[in-house]
Structure 1
Amino acid sequence: MSKATPHKLSWRNPLLMGVLLACNTFALAQWQWVDATGRKVFSDTPPPAGIPDKNVLKQPGGGRIAIPAPVSETAPAAAPAPTAAQAPQIATRDTELEARKKQAEQAEEARKKADMERVAKGRADNCERARKAKITMESGVRLATTNAKGEREIMDDKAKASESQRMDAVIRENCGTLPTAK
C-alpha cells in the first residue's frame, strides 16, 4: 500500500494562489471622489459624510457605505448640517483664477510692448543710417564698394542711382509711422 502524502502548502500550489489573489482584491478596494475644492481624492476609506453621492467617482462593491462620525460621551449634540451659505464657496477659486488670468494678460501686454519698442528702435536706427547714406550718395564724392572677390570698385553713376533708389525704399519703409499688425 502506498501511503498518501498530505498536500504541502507552497507558492506553486494553484489553489493557494487563487485564494490569496481573491483576498488581495478586497485589500485593493479603492474609493475615488471629488472634494469640496474640486480635487480628486483617492483613498482606501470611504469619503466623509459631507461629500454628495454625485461626487463619488469610484467605490468598491456596489453601494455607498455611510459611516457615522464617532460620538464622544462629553461631546454636545451634533450640530445641524451646514446650509448653502455656510458651505465652502467656490467663488474664491474663481477670483484666484481671474487674478491669474489678469496677471497673464498683463505679462503678455508687457511682452508685446517690449517687442514693439525693440522694433521701433531698430526702425529708427535703420532710418538714420539710410538718410546718412542718401546724403553721402548725393554729395558728389566718389564712392567705392567691395565686390565678392574682396576687390575695391569705384561706383559709377548707374550704381549710385541704383543704390540711391534702394536707400529711398529703406527710408520709406523705416522713417514713417510703424505699420499696424493685421
Structure 2
Amino acid sequence: MRPTLPAQLPRLLGAFLLLAYGIAHAQFAWVDEKGVKHYSDRPPPPGTPASKILKTPGKPAELFATPEQAEVADAKSADAGSAPKQPTLAEREADFRKRAQDRAKEEKKAADEAQRQQAQHANCEQAQRYKNALDSGMRMTESGSDGGPQWMSDESRARHLAETNNVLAACR
C-alpha cells in the first residue's frame, strides 16, 4: 500500500529544505581594511583584494582566516605584482581637484574668447555703419587741428574710407 500525501509531507518538506540550504549559503564573506568580517549576499566592494575575500559562492569557505593571515596574503600578492595598485583616496581627491582646476581654466578661456568675439563683432558693426555713412555722400565733419568741427574734404573722406575698408577686411 502507498503512503498518502499527508504522510509523505514531512519527507517532501525535508527534501525542499535541503535544496534551499544550498541556495541560502550563496553568500560572500570578506574582511575589510579595518579587520571587520562582513557576510552578504552581494559581492564585496570593488578594490577589495582577493586575499581578503574569505568566501564566494561555489568556492570553499575559509571561515577561520584571521585578518593577520589576510594581510600576509596581501603582502605576498603585492610582492608577486599580480594585482594592479588601486589609487588611494588622497590620490583620487588630488586627481579630482586637478580636473576641476583644468575645467575652470577651460571655462575661463572659453568665456574670454566669447567676450573677445563679441567685442570684435561690435567693432565690425560700427565700422560697417561708418562705411555706410561715408558712402552715402552726405556732408560730414571731423575734428580740426584746433579741436573744432571742420567739414571733411574728399581726400580725407577717401582716407577714412580706406581705413574703414581695412578694418572690415579683418572682419570677414
TM-score, with structure 2 as normaliser: 0.50
Aligned to 1:137: 134
- SS at the partner of 1:83? helix
Are 2:87 and 1:94 aligned?
no
Are 2:80 and 1:83 aligned?
no
- Tell me by how many angstroms 1:151 deviates: 1.2
Q: Percent identity?
A: 24
Name the count of aligned residue pairs. 97
Question: Which moves more between the two structures, 130-139 or 89-98?
Answer: 89-98
Are 2:125 and 1:128 aligned?
yes
Match among 161, 166, 171 for residue 163 of structure 2: 166
- Tell me by how many angstroms 1:91 deviates: 2.2
Segments of 4+ moved more than 3 angstroms: 79-82
- Tell me by how many angstroms 1:149 deviates: 2.4
Match among 90, 111, 132 for residue 108 of structure 2: 111
Task: Return 5+ residue gaps in structure 1 as ranges.
Answer: 1-78, 177-182
Q: Indicate how the Cα distance of structure 1 residues 108 and 148 shifts in structure 2: closer, same or farther if over 3 A, else same.
A: farther
Q: For 1:81-136, what per-residue CA distance to the aligned partner results, in whole angstroms no more than 9, with x for missing partners?
A: 882759xx752222111111110111001000100110011011001000010010
CA distance in 2, matches of 1:83, 1:108: 43
CA distance in 2, matches of 1:98, 1:148: 63
- SS at the partner of 2:71? coil
TM-score, with structure 1 as normaliser: 0.48
- SS at the partner of 1:142? coil
In terms of fraction of residues, the more helix-rich structure is 2
- SS at the partner of 2:116? helix
Q: Which amino acid aligns with 1:137?
A: L
CA distance in 2, matches of 1:147, 1:158: 14
Aligned-residue CA RMSD (Å): 2.6
Task: Return 5+ residue gaps in structure 2 as ranges.
Answer: 1-66, 76-85
